[in-house]
Structure 1
Amino acid sequence: MNERVWSISLLLFLSTVVAFAQTTNRNLKAPLPNEWEESGEVFQQILPVNDHWWKSFQDTKLDSLIAVAIDRNYSVAMAIDRIAAARANLWMERGNFFPSIALNTGWTRQETSGNTSTLPQSADHYYDASLSMSWEIDVFGSIRKRVKAQKENFAASKEEYTGVMISLAAEVASSYINLRELQQELEVVKKNSASQEEVLKITEVRFNTGLVAKLDVAQAKSVLYSTKASIPQLEAGINQYITSLAVLLGMYPQDVRPILEPVGKLPDYMEPIGIGMPVDLLMRRPDVRSAERTVNAQAALLGASKSDWLPKFFLKGSFGYAARDLNDLMKSKSMTYEIAPALSWTIFSGGQLVNATRLAKAQLDESINQFNQTVLTAVQEVDNAMNSYKNSIKQIVALREVRNQGIETLKLSLDLYKQGLSPFQNVLDAQRSLLSYENQLVQAQGSSLLQLIALYKALGGGWGE
């Protein structure tokens, strides 16, 4: 009977190994986009991606904000706590490699009944002190595999910490760029308002001299007030990004307003960037590496669950002293000891071992599917960010030319209007168009920087090793 059970357990163990090998072969093997391997005007194959990518913006205030966020952000603190918890779990599991030793001391008094047997009633007492030991000998690797699983979980927690740092740097940089973009839009509005006020003065002078109708004055005021009406909305948006940055920095808004409210320029950055080699792009991402660690951990747990089908060997023992008289406790005649090697083999458990293995197998399959999904998401994010950044640069180049032509159009139309050679409507159209062009240019510059930040985040840059 024992030989049959042993054979069944061994066959089940081997079948699990084969199944695991087949399962792990299901990992993603689809090729990455071909265009990633092509060099171009915007992207260069340079390895590795600069970890402190935000320093390329040459904005010392942004550098300081990210440094403060790294030091004070609560998401980072929670990630550190998760690492500490994973490390504790690892050392707890490693503790199973060692014997468990306990110290037992006490005094015992017992009295037997004289009415339960022919023996007379009696009382006895004794003192004892001993060390007991229990040690599981890891013959089939159950403990080793569970330790490996916790080691992989610990490594995954460190990858999650890296991911938090990358996301934090990207969020701070994105909020900062959005803040500067709105501040620049506000400056554009104020500058155009000043220009429109000058045009209004010109129309008033021409009206007072009888050269034009009052309609020109009313239209000039309409354009001016329409431009000024956008200021409150921009100021509200600026306040929102200041409060968002305050949360990321782990501070209150009133503490950061003096630093962030002064108007700052958008970083003037339109440079080719190094994106690394395609395979390394994905493998440097902490979410991909964390998913890979999770697969390894689940694979180890599956192996451990299979080891539970096999016998467990224990070495138990104790050594101590016992005596009726406390003065005799430490004498050699009072010494006691016990050595008890033991074997434990679960033959029937109501399906618990079977279902534990099924659970481990299902969790392994889930982790593999999650790994594949993570890789696909990484490919999508990198590809989208690359295309968006490349096209944003083209848009900025075009909008700069449009803005320059808008300035020239306003100048010419205003000159012709002063000479009475052109209707005021041309000046109004030129004013509206120039305001729109300048706003679009600022927005495109901000969007380009945001796409660049998204690209570095997608590449796993920002807090690598």
Structure 2
Amino acid sequence: MRPWLRIKGVFVYLRAFFSFVLGGLAAGCATVGPDYAGPPATPLPAAFTRAGEPPEAPRVAAWWNQLGDPTLASLVERAFAANPSLAAAQARLLHVRDMSRTERANQMPRGGADLFYAHARLPSMSGGAEDGSQLPSRLDLYNVGFDATWEIDLFGGQRRAVEAAGASVQAAEANLADAQVSLAAEVAQLYVDLRGCQRREALNDDAIARQQRGLDLARRRREAGTASDLDLARLQGQLEATRADTGQLAAELDGYRNALAVLLGLPPGTLDDELAKPAPIPLPPTAVAVGDPTALLKNRPDIRAAERTLAARTAQIGQAQAARFPRLTLMGLIGIGGSHLSDLAHLDDFTALAAPRLRWNFLDFGRNAANVDKAEDMRNEAVSHYRAAVLAALRDAEDALARFRQRRVTVATLARAVEAARRAADLTRERERAGTTTMMDLLDAERTRISTEQRLASAETALTGDFVSLQKALGLGWAESPRH
């Protein structure tokens, strides 16, 4: 028989041996530990108690497009592409996926090749051979071999490890989605605050210009003897108070632009030119879909992460329990060699070995029992975390809905107040031109109008901010992570 056919026959023998042993053990293999049956039952209301919104399910991703602001949409997408914290969450996900691949690979045999050479110098010995000749005092050994080992998963410990690793991957995916939700909300909130601050700055500049004109007119009238020093002092005080707000507003704008730049992975100041030009405050749509508490549990990534963590902790109980039972390892070996280098070419003279090994660490003084108790404690902790996450999510949604609904009423009220203030200012201006009222009355009317418009700008900013908070509370703004 040709040497390579003999080698092939040995491999066939080893494979047949492993298959026979595995087939015989398959029927007796068991998976210890509790099977995961889903998260604990949590009572949920049929609908949000403070929802005045349509009950249909909301869109999960890209809610910021509902604000109709292309600049905001661009900022969010750029943040998703370059934010360092989000990149760290993505790297964490890849790390957990690699760990899951390792656990799956641990179920398969391990094999390798060895090339061995040894040179030994021995003491001179005589009479060792049958003919009384002297044994060699120098010895060379050459060997080339292939070996394989396979641990049989008798009690499902490795299967539970794979199960836990898979659940951990899903938890990491949910954590990445949660990071996307938080990042989108933070970018949107800063952008809305920026536009609101720009609106208030414009109104403040308008107030300064009008107050400066009133002060100049009062000075001319003072020189003509038709205005008093008291009128002049009062106008000067109002002007300086308004000017004092200029620096604070400028500092706020710089802070918003710097914060947005950092969220986009850029140095502070990078977005100054891009966001220097004022733009309207983006307002939420008239109707906002919020869904129901059941949809909330599906959409909120932090709840899904808590549930998947609970699944992983449950599987780890079985993994710990399996360590208390015997472990069976199959080993196979084939090699060729001898005391001369030329012996490596003798393919028909080889060594082959197939051997099972049973190991049982039954005397561990309670270590494995303690590990099982620890795994059960961690599972119970994960149950509590899941329940807490559900309750916190329900509260977030209810609070956000209440704020958003009441803020709409506030904005509507202030919008009517602005219309009234503008009408009053127009009428006062007409009367001042007709000489039936004073410039001071007109300045007071303009000041009231500007102050009311500033309150409206702040309320609109807060309304859109509440809309952003609502989207975050509902767990919206994430996308499925790509699988590798």
TM-score scaled by length of structure 2: 0.84
Aligned equivalent of 2:89:
79
Q: What SS class does the counterpart of residue 378 from structure 1 fall into? A: helix
Q: Which residue of 2 aligns with 1:67?
A: 77
Residue 130 (structure 1) aligned to one of 126, 133, 145: 145
Q: How does 1:323-342 map to 2 (within 5 A)?
A: 323-332=338-347, 334-342=349-357
- The answer to whether structure 1 residue 454 and structure 2 residue 469 are counterparts is yes
Which residue number in structure 2 is paired with residue 93 of structure 1? 103
Aligned to 1:7: none
1:246-325 equivalences under 5 Å are 246-325=261-340
Q: CA deviation at 1:117?
A: 11
State whether residues 321 and 335 of structure 1, in contact with CA within 8 Å, keep that contact through their aligned partners in structure 2: yes
- Which stretch has the larger CA shift, 359-368 or 414-423? 414-423
CA distance in 1, matches of 2:427, 2:77: 49
Question: Which whole-Å CA distance do the structure 2 matches of 1:304 and 1:182 have between them?
Answer: 56
Matches within 5 A, 1:146-157: 146-157=161-172
Q: Is the 8 A contact 2:76 2:188 kept in 1?
A: yes
Deviation of the 1:134 alpha carbon: 1.1
- Note if contact 1:90-1:154 (Cα within 8 Å) is conserved in structure 2: yes
Quote the residue 2:22 is aligned against.
none
8 Å CA contact 1:203–1:216 kept in 2: the answer is yes
1:94 deviation in Å? Answer: 1.2
User: Partners of 1:29 and 1:373 in 2: how far apart?
Assistant: 10
The Cα offsets for residues 234-284 of structure 1, whole Å up to 9 and x where unpaired, read as 001000111001101111233211101111110133512011232111221
Map 1:29-428 to 2 at 5 A.
29-32=42-45, 36=48, 40=52, 43-113=53-123, 122-123=136-137, 124-332=139-347, 334-412=349-427
Q: Deviations over 1:16-57 (max 9, x none)?
A: 649x87xx77x351323x5517863xx111223252111111
Task: Compare 447-456 and 219-228 and name the one that shifted more.
Answer: 219-228
Aligned residues: 445
Rounded to whole Å, the distance in 2 between the matches of 1:241 and 1:139 is: 60
Q: Which moved more, 1:247-256 or 1:87-96?
A: 247-256
Which whole-Å CA distance do the structure 2 matches of 1:368 and 1:117 have between them? 76
Alpha-carbon distance change, 117 to 417 in structure 1, aligned in 2, over 3 angstroms: farther
The percent identity for this pair of structures is: 27
1:93 aligns to what SS in structure 2? helix
Query: Runs of 5+ in structure 2 lacking a partner?
Result: 1-30
- Over 3 Å counting, the alpha-carbon distance change for 1:112 and 1:402 in structure 2 is same
Larger % of helix: which?
1
Measured against aligned partners, the alpha-carbon deviations of 1:155-203 in whole angstroms (never above 9, x if no partner) come to 1111111112221111111111111111000011111222223333443
Aligned residue number for residue 454 of structure 2: 439
Give the CA deviation at 1:75. Answer: 1.4
Which stretches in structure 1 are left out of the alignment for 5+ residues?
A: 1-12
Q: Which amino acid aligns with 2:353?
A: E
Q: Distance in 2 between matches of 1:38 and 1:59?
A: 28
Per-residue CA distance 1:93-134 (angstroms, 9 max, x = gap): 111111111212212344555699999765443321111111
| Distance of 1:126 and 1:215 partners within structure 2 | 113
For residues 307-337 of structure 1, what are the alpha-carbon distances to aligned partners after superposition, in whole Å with 9 as ceiling and x for unaligned?
A: 1112211111211113222223342552101
Asked if the contact 1:170/1:457 (under 8 Å) is kept, the reply is yes
- In the superposition, the TM-score normalised over structure 1's length comes to 0.88
Asked if the contact 2:214/2:439 (under 8 Å) is kept, the reply is no
Residue type of the partner of 1:277? D
Q: Which amino acid aligns with 2:368?
A: L
Question: How much does 1:74 deviate?
Answer: 1.0
> Structure 2 vs 1, CA of residues 454 and 248 (structure 1 numbering), >3 Å: closer, same or farther?
same
Contact 1:270–1:393 (CA under 8 A) maintained in structure 2: no
Is the partner of 1:211 in helix, strand or coil? coil
**What is the alpha-carbon distance in structure 2 between the residues aligned to residue 381 and residue 375 of structure 1?**
10
Moved more, 87-96 or 196-205: 196-205
